[in-house]
Amino acid sequence: MAEKQDIWQILSERMRMSQEGDSKAYELLLSKCREILNNHLSSKVRDKEDREDLIQDILIGIHKARATYRREKPFAPWFFSIARYKTIDYIRRKGTRDRIVSTEMEGFAQEEKTSIEDRWEVLQGLESWLNVLDPRQKKILTMAKLEGKSVREISESTGLSESNIKVIVHRSLEKLKRFFSESERTIEGSKTSKK
């Protein structure tokens, strides 16, 4: 257990250094993340090319979202929230063409979280995703999607009209989708240009 905590602490420090412009620390960070992902996915995605594609997607997601990592927060929840998002995205892209991989991946994407610590890690990961949004969008989307409040309740709480709340929720979701999906288009474009 202590070893795992040490690894995540080292990765957190490397991310902090890379945010300050240390390219060597960033290279080491991505290398260790690749190793962790490969170990975790090796039994879940048996096809080596599929696994490598997914790992690449996750690493690009980490690169694109690295400005959202908050240094005072643990690295593991942030890392695994991106991995889960990219895994779900990967399953959707794969469709039914490879049912075995999809079934395996769904197990990874929807791992059961049982302990309070695990639930806290998921919430911390979600919080890092929400940092992409401006404060008002973050507050309203949190109320709507995480706290389960109705549009009317949010309207009464914020003083904004119900239609405005709906627009903000919609635009916030679209912003998150765009932010985390741009890497997918980049990868698809590079595959097409190689043909």
* pLDDT tens digit sequence for 84-106: 878 777 777 765 344 444 444 44
Q: How far apart are CA 133 and CA 141, in angstroms?
A: 9
**Structure tokens that stand for 25 in this block:** 């620390």
Going by the DSSP 8-state scheme, the letter that residue 73 receives in this structure is S
Question: Within 13 A of 14's CA, how many CA atoms are on the CB side?
Answer: 20
Question: Can you tell me the distance from the alpha carbon of 165 to that of 179, in angstroms, rounded to the nearest whole number?
Answer: 21
Q: Is the pTM of this model over 0.75?
A: no
Q: Which whole number is the average pLDDT over 128-142?
A: 83
User: Residue 183 in contact with residue 64, Cβ under 8 Å?
Assistant: yes
Give per-residue pLDDT as tens, 33-67. Answer: 999 998 888 877 777 888 899 999 999 989 988 88
The single residue listed with the structure tokens 């070893």 is 3
Q: Does pLDDT of 114 surpass 70?
A: no
Residue 138 burial (CB < 10 Å; 0-12/13-18/19+)? Answer: middle
Q: What is the DSSP letter of 21?
A: T
Model pLDDT for residues 177-189, shown as the tens digit of each residue? 777 665 445 445 5
Higher model confidence: residue 11 or residue 71? 11
Radius of gyration of the chain (CA): 18
The predicted structure's pLDDT at residue 125: 57
Residue 131 has pLDDT above 80, yes or no: no
- Cα–Cα distance for residue pair 59/184, rounded to 1 Å: 11
Tokens of 17: 């250094």
Mean local confidence (pLDDT), 17-37: 94
Looking at the chain, the whole-number percentage of residues with pLDDT higher than 90 is 29
Q: What is the pLDDT of residue 107?
A: 43
Report the pLDDT value the prediction gives residue 31, as an integer from 0 to 100: 95
Average pLDDT over residues 109-116: 42
